[in-house]
Chain A
Amino acid sequence: GAGVSQSPRYKVTKRGQDVALRCDPISGHVSLYWYRQALGQGPEFLTYFNYEAQQDKSGLPNDRFSAERPEGSISTLTIQRTEQRDSAMYRCASSRPLAGRVRNEQFFGPGTRLTVL
C-alpha cells in the first residue's frame, strides 16, 4: 500500500529481552517520527529524522532506547533490556513529501503494540 507500515503489529516479549520495531514510511517522505501513545492520550514524542539524520532524540526515555534510519527510508526503534514499563503502543509517522514543504503534516502508521511480561 501507499501508507506508513509498521511491523510487527503486536510484540510480546519477556523482561530483559531486546526488541526491534520497524517503520516503513511513505515513499519519498523526508521526515520520520517515532511516538509512544497511551490509550486515550495524545502521542508522546520520542525522536525524529530528516533523511538519515536524527534531528532530535530528546523524547527517548533513557539510553535503552535508540533509533536509526541508515538510508533515509526505513527506520528501526530498538529497545534493549525491556522492562514492563516499556509496554505501550509505539507509532511511527512520516511527513514532508518534498524537502521544501513547509507544513509538517504527518501520516501515521497502525502502530506496534508492545507487551513486556
Chain B
Amino acid sequence: TQLLEQSPQFLSIQEGENLTVYCNSSSVFSSLQWYRQEPGEGPVLLVTVVTGGEVKKLKRLTFQFGDARKDSSLHITAAQPGDTGLYLCAGEWEYGNKLVFGAGTILRVKS
C-alpha cells in the first residue's frame, strides 16, 4: 500500500500546455517535499511546503499544500521540453523520521 498516492502516473503533453500533478495521503505530514529527477540522475529537491494552505512559486511551477496537510499539488504553466522528468513528492511525519516517497509522475513534454 502506497502511503503517498501520486497521480497521474504518466503524462505526455505538448509544449505550452499546463498540467497539474497530485499527491494524496490519508496521513498528516509535518512537511512535504517535491523532487524532480532527470534520466540517469538522482532526485533534486524543488521545494518544501510546511504550513497547511501554503502556496509556493518557483518560476512556472506552483506548489500547494492542502489545508489539512494531507495532500499537495504541483502545477506547471506553459510546460517546456526541459520540464521532462520524474516528479516525486515526499512526506515527512515528524522531525527525525524518514521521508515517505510517492511512486512518482513521469512527465514528457513534446516540442
Contacts and interface: CB of A to CB of B under 8 A. Distances in A.
B78 interface: no
A42 B92 contact: no
Interface residues of A, number: 25
Interface residues of B, number: 25
Interface string A35-52: 100001111110010100
A41 to B, nearest CB: 6
A56 B6 CA distance: 25
Interface in B1-44: 6, 31, 33, 41-44
A108 B41 CA distance: 9
B104 interface: yes
A2 interface: no
Nearest to B43: A108
Interface string A47-90: 01010000110000000000000000000000000000000000
Interface stretch (B52-60, B65-73, B95-103): B95-103
A110 B42 CA distance: 5
A80 to B, nearest CB: 24
A108 B42 contact: yes
A27 interface: no
Given A56-B98, A104-B99, A43 B43 contact: yes
Contact of A105 (B6, B33, B98): B33
A4 B89 CA distance: 21
A43 B99 CA distance: 10
B98 A33 contact: yes
Q: Report, nearest first, the 3 A-B pairs whose CB atoms are least far apart.
A: A108-B42, A42-B101, A42-B104
B11 to A, nearest CB: 13
B106 to A, nearest CB: 6
